[in-house]
Amino acid sequence: MTIALMRFGFCSLLLLIAVERACADGWTPILRVGSIDQSIDDLNVIPLSGFDVAFDHLEQPLRPEQWPHLHPGVRDVWAGSRGYLLRTPVATPRRYGVYRIRIGVLGAHPYQPPRLRVTFGPSASWILKAPSGADISRQTERLEYLSPAVAEYLIAGQDLIDESTMLAIESIDDGSWIVYDGIEIDWIDAPLASEVGVDFHKEPARLVHRTPDGPRQQFRLTLDLRRVSTPLNLKIVDAAGGVWSEATLGLDAGHKRFYGPLTADLSIPAHEKAQDLKLEIRSDNFQKSYDLHWPGYRPIELYVVPQAHFDNGYTHTADQAVARNVDSLSRALAFGEKYENFSWTNESSYILQRWWQNANPADRDRLVDQVRSGRVGLDAGWVNLLTGLPNDEGLHRWLYWSGNFAREHRLDLKTASLTDSPSHVWSLPTILAGSGIEFLSIGSNSDRSDFWKFGADRAYQPVWWEGPDGARVLTMVHKHYAEATTVGLTMSLEAAEQRLPGYLTYIFDNPDAKEPYPYNVIHLHGAYFDNVQLDENLPAVVEQWNAKYEWPRLILGTNADFFERLRTEAAQHAPVVRGDQGAYWEDGAGSSAAETKLNRDSVRRLVLLEALLAGLHAQGKIRDYPKKLIDEAWENALLYDEHTWGAHHSVSLPDDPQTLTLFAVKAGYAMKSRLLCDQLQKIVDEGLAFTESWERDRRNSVAPESDALSFRSGYLAVDMDQTTGLIRSIRRTDDGREFVERSPAGGSVDAANSSGFGQVLYYAKQRGYPPSGSDVATGSTLSTPKLIDIQRKVRSIVSRYEHEILGIVELEVCVAADSPDIQCVLRMKGKRPVREMEGVYVSFPFAFKQPQIDYEVGGATVQAGRDWMPRACLDWFSVQDFVRLQDLKTGDDVVWSSPDAPLVSFQDVNTHKKLESLPIENGRIYSYVMNNYWHTNYQAQQGGDFEFRYFISFGRKTSLGQASLRATRWSPAICNALRAFVDIGSENIRMSSFKRAEDGDGYIVRIREVDGEHGDVKFSVPALAEVGIASVEVVSGIESPHMHPHGQTSAKGTEVSTHLHPFEVQTLRIRPGKRESDSNKKQATAP
């Protein structure tokens, strides 16, 4: 159901006061604020932007027709960030009978529903708990996803004092909004029986107190009184009549009839096993006994992993953010010496690196000692990556700094954590496990992501996340991060006592979880939110807690402490899950499309440059291996792929100096990585004396037909459409197989699924203000560029268009002469920077029905539909090298590659549809080149000139290894130059890296199997032809000794033999033999 919210002025309202006509059920209407009918059409609908204007008016007693449809809360910035008290007088002349108050609500904020206090007269006060689950679109001002409910309260007429009684509703916590359906007050001439409703709160019972009488469990009862005299006597008794606990309530209220809630806190001796007891309630006008099922407690160990979330900017400048986190590490070293139960974990080893650079030798020794003793945790990740952006070698380099540090100081490195960025690539368990990392904790952010629900579905219990090769890491997926703050441990003991029991109930009694949480050990991911500094509250509160409570016992520990504690139980109970988690936040990289393209280009260059430099070094052609330049280039590339793009107000205040400064820093990482690659290329060019092009070019393309807008090669026939300028047909010449699904009849389309091949789709929508997470693409207006002309070039055809926002748009098409390949280049010249919401796509509708779609990201090949984890992002995907579409019946296939833009959608443009499934029914690919849909962090606008390239290859039964080769951007000449150093040979084996070893002891070759084949592999290292290979061994992904030595590796001459399992990633250390010149030097210097 969808209800329009946007109205101006007052709506008409049905108001019935003291009407004598009886309702069908015998009740007489007294007051109507609208009607409870799942509609707000009869309420005073105030625009969301109007609450600040209506502030003063709403503070006064209201006539029923003035009552607003929506009640804001403290969380609502658009309404002044305050609680509202709404009141209306009600005529109550009768001193007998019963008044009934019914409050209808249509729902409340989906994540932060409020609590409201309802009062009516001097002695009646109730708490209305708003049902969550509704949602408001800030663009359309519409209420969606209703969760309607009606709260009903009764009060005796004789307990009212005045002939006019004030009905008041007030928000009493830090929640958000609630939407009313209506308010109805009726009267009936009937007696009202006394009654007590009992609500037993399990949360406090989970806490076991230390007392002089031994461990005791406390619990809380909320008694909903209806015309019951106070005081009340409460007893907890067992089946034999023994009294376990007793209390008296309401003495301060005197002897009077009472309506609404009273709370009672009682305690009994602690029991692990559940007990069946009775609750007895007595007063001078009421007596009743209730069955009470008493839950036993669980001896819970709660591991708090103290760390602060590092945003490289966002809340502060980048330098300030680093400084704050570096200072927290210094404080942690001091607290580790002061508090017995304290530890600290650096969420990002980048902070440890920056701290280490300026630390004196004594402080460095202190830190290493505290890492060894478990007071400081060492996690493997360098920064919090958007893991869908780097290539597989980048993901390995993400672990290198910690790996080098651990190896140098002989420290264990078993854990990794990723915070804020909510979902991650499938290659991660393969890369982590191959690097000796056994455990992973993900602190997933729920903003624009549903992956945290994967953890919620399983009550946040661990799973074995299995990579494509079968390697596993024990993984926790949390709803959020800074969980120690969430449960109050960074604030005070009182805050923790209020919040922690509810958290335990959420873990153990989550009704949405598919299975209960089976362990007595719980993990809290992190302590502090974005760049918040460590203070002494946390260790002090934990110390106070453990002094007061027997259970749960709080342990300030490292991730390794928790996972080692859990390992034995999890090995038996934790389920195994496979698949990719999707790219929920990687779409933000499309807000800076030019810089993202630049960084992707630099990373690919860097892998090639490093391999060529290693070959030149192995041959003795360069003496000084430029490791410092290479490391710096990798670090800048990874800092661009780090999840912080800019300021928290980057979209609401795009011209703010901090916004501009932070994005300049972000863009600077891509620029610096590019400049460092340029420096490295000069060294390579000098060593190779290489003058040919590094990249594939068009010199081997066929010329267009002289009398038509078409190409003919020995492999393909490609026709352009004269009306639209798009590709109308791509046919294979040997059998006429058509690969284009359609060509639209005109230049414009009304939906993505009717767009043509190479067509640009521009989606526009007004942004909400202030920007919020509900600013989504659904409901956007679609437009396409209008054709200006079509130009026939020497080796290409260029269609030129114009568009109000995109400027001049060009689609250039080339067809290869010696292979079944085409290249499409999209250019936008003079795109206007736009702050309203926009998304730009390029359509590639391939003619397939129910194809198999495989795509590569982070070094893993994901089969669409099969290899997605539950709750993964299906609206868009991140792709590194290629997408392969294949008809399993005929073997016909297409390999599509987008080197410049990482994001794609399959089947349709699905942005923000929150797809839970995506059946693969067609061959449509949409390159998602840019957007500004985010409300924070990412860029609000981008303009200028842009170019995006697409390489498309057509074949039959193309293997994944062949697809990867076809997707390369490098020219045959430079590939041959690389093979002169390392020659892999096998199509199913890809080389991820050839480099100098980190410790200088030989060279590293990293290879991965890509076709799912099992067997022996041979490759050669011609770079070592002069000296031969002295030894070869399999090492971990971070170049440490492998946990499971590989016995099937050997070398002879320059040839290496090894064994690979399907999709395995293997890192080998190759030690060269001695050069004759080196031996002569040693003999000459011998005594």
Share of the chain above pLDDT 70, in %: 92
- 710-966 maps to CATH 2.70.98.30: yes
Q: Which of 114-118, 238-242, 607-611 ranks highest by mean pLDDT?
A: 607-611
Buried/exposed code over 882-891 (b: 16+ C-beta within 10 A; e: otherwise): bbbbbbeeee
What per-residue confidence (pLDDT) applies to 23?
59
Q: 934, 918 in Cβ contact below 8 A?
A: no
The pLDDT of residue 807 is above 90? yes
Taken in order 379, 384, 388, 390, is the CA torsion positive or negative? Answer: negative
What per-residue confidence (pLDDT) applies to 508?
86
The pLDDT confidence band at residue 17, using thresholds 50, 70 and 90, is: very low
pLDDT in tens, 123-139: 788 888 877 665 555 44
What per-residue confidence (pLDDT) applies to 392?
97
Same fold, 196-294 and 983-1078: yes
The pLDDT of residue 409 is above 60? yes
DSSP-derived letter for residue 816 is: B
> Do you find a cis peptide bond into 552, omega within 30 degrees of 0?
yes
15-19, 317-321, 326-330, 501-505: least confident range: 15-19
Superfamily grouping for domain 301-578: Glycoside hydrolase 38, N terminal domain (3.20.110.10)
Which two three-digit tokens encode residue 983?
């020659």
What per-residue confidence (pLDDT) applies to 20?
35
What per-residue confidence (pLDDT) applies to 107?
85
CATH architecture of 3-191: Sandwich (2.60)
pLDDT in tens, 260-282: 888 888 888 898 998 899 999 99
Mean pLDDT on 148-169:
90
Q: Which residues pair with 992 in a beta bridge?
A: none
Tell me the DSSP string of 946-1008: EEEEEEEEEEES--HHHHHHHT--B-HHHHHHHHTT-B---TTEEEEEEEE-TTSSSEEEEEE
The pLDDT of residue 3 is above 50? no
290-294, 433-437, 562-566: least confident range: 290-294
pLDDT in tens, 727-753: 999 999 999 999 999 766 655 678 888
What per-residue confidence (pLDDT) applies to 408?
96
What per-residue confidence (pLDDT) applies to 253?
52
Q: 455, 510 in Cβ contact below 8 A?
A: no
Mean pLDDT on 902-930:
97
Mean pLDDT on 534-547:
95
Fold of 983-1078: Immunoglobulin-like (2.60.40)
Cβ-proximal residues to 657 (8 Å cutoff; 6+ apart), any chain: none
> Do you find a cis peptide bond into 89, omega within 30 degrees of 0?
no
CATH architecture of 196-294: Sandwich (2.60)
4-13, 556-565, 669-678, 805-814: least confident range: 4-13
Map out the domains of the chain as residue ranges.
3-191, 196-294, 301-578, 594-688, 710-966, 983-1078
Query: CA 298, 299, 304: angle at the middle one, nearest 5?
Result: 110
Among 620, 469, 490, CA closest to 544: 490
The pLDDT of residue 254 is above 60? no
145-149, 473-477, 828-832: least confident range: 145-149
The pLDDT of residue 51 is above 70? no
Q: What is the mean pLDDT of the chain?
A: 90
The pLDDT confidence band at residue 56, using thresholds 50, 70 and 90, is: low
pLDDT in tens, 60-72: 889 999 998 889 8
The pLDDT confidence band at residue 252, using thresholds 50, 70 and 90, is: low
What per-residue confidence (pLDDT) applies to 748?
63
Which two three-digit tokens encode residue 658?
């901090």
What per-residue confidence (pLDDT) applies to 772?
82
The pLDDT of residue 680 is above 90? yes
Q: Which residues pair with 730 in a beta bridge?
A: 718
Exposed/middle/buried for residue 782 (C-beta within 10 Å: 0-12, 13-18, 19+): middle
What per-residue confidence (pLDDT) applies to 144?
57
What per-residue confidence (pLDDT) applies to 172?
86
What per-residue confidence (pLDDT) applies to 483?
95
The pTM assigned to this predicted structure is 0.86
325-334, 454-463, 487-496, 897-906: least confident range: 454-463
